[in-house]
Amino acid sequence: MNFIFDMDGVLINSEPLHARSRIAVLESLGVKTDMDMSEVIGSSTLAFWENMIKKYGIKAMASNLEHIQMGVLIDMMKKEKCRPPEGLFELLDALDGMGIAMAVGSSSRRMLVEAVLDYLGITSRFNAIITGDDVKNLKPAPDIYLLAMERLGADKDRAVAVEDSRLGVAAALAAGIPCIGYSNPTSPNQDLSAATYRVDSLLQVLDLRQGDRWLWETGEK
């Protein structure tokens, strides 16, 4: 079995930092907004800045604003000692103990993904790390999950995703693999109803294993 983890909101409680860093960069450009940032959770940061440039007539390149925002977010993460969701390390330890291969499948840029994994000290736990720099189409397209399975050498019936956003769930299902929807309270207003399974904590993922098999291997819901 192979587990593919989203990063933001699954490996680290970073969604509030995404929202605040976006607002900080907008304010530095003289733009005030009351936009609900929960609406763009799981979507492309580059697309966000492309939309902001069009909406507010900002004279800048979207890729430059994205890079600036990532730097602001990383600085916030370190200064504020942003934490992973409760139970993350215990879950990774348990999966390691079962000999399960793991990957990261994130739409975020490699710059951010590598900074987060290094910050948490978990880079070496993953057999593959797929970022938004590695594919043409970001979530909800299936590309990230398809590439993660390819890098892991995993068939669709031997892989599962862990996601915290509606768009992430859609990406996993589009790739043909079951998805565990994790309801992280720091990733608000996410409709995870399409997920194959739902959990309220990462350690509940282990409850989806019965004996020596996972529920999706037996076809149980």
Last residue of a domain, one of 29, 64, 79: 79
Q: Rounded distance, CA 160 to CA 96, Å?
A: 15
Q: Rounded distance, CA 122 to CA 152, Å?
A: 17
Are residues 105 and 43 part of one domain? Answer: no
Last residue of a domain, one of 23, 49, 79: 79
pLDDT of the chain along its 221 residues, tens only?
Answer: 999 999 999 999 998 899 999 999 999 999 988 888 877 877 788 989 999 999 999 999 999 999 999 999 999 999 999 999 999 999 999 999 999 999 999 999 999 999 999 999 999 999 999 999 999 999 999 999 999 999 999 999 999 999 999 999 999 999 999 999 999 999 888 999 999 999 999 999 999 999 899 999 988 77
Last residue of a domain, one of 62, 79, 96: 79
Are residues 64 and 42 part of one domain? Answer: yes
Are residues 109 and 124 part of one domain? Answer: yes
Are residues 91 and 65 part of one domain? Answer: no
Are residues 66 and 163 part of one domain? Answer: no
* Per-residue model confidence as pLDDT tens digits over 97-129: 999 999 999 999 999 999 999 999 999 999 999
Are residues 205 and 180 part of one domain? Answer: yes
Are residues 127 and 28 part of one domain? Answer: no
Are residues 150 and 66 part of one domain? Answer: no
Which residue range forms the structural domain that includes residue 75? 15-79
In whole angstroms, how far apart are CA 49 and each of 55, 70, 72, 158?
10, 12, 15, 36
Are residues 63 and 90 part of one domain? Answer: no
Are residues 73 and 171 part of one domain? Answer: no
Are residues 182 and 127 part of one domain? Answer: yes
In whole angstroms, how far apart are CA 46 and each of 42, 146, 165?
12, 21, 18
Are residues 129 and 70 part of one domain? Answer: no
How many structural domains comprise the chain? Answer: 2
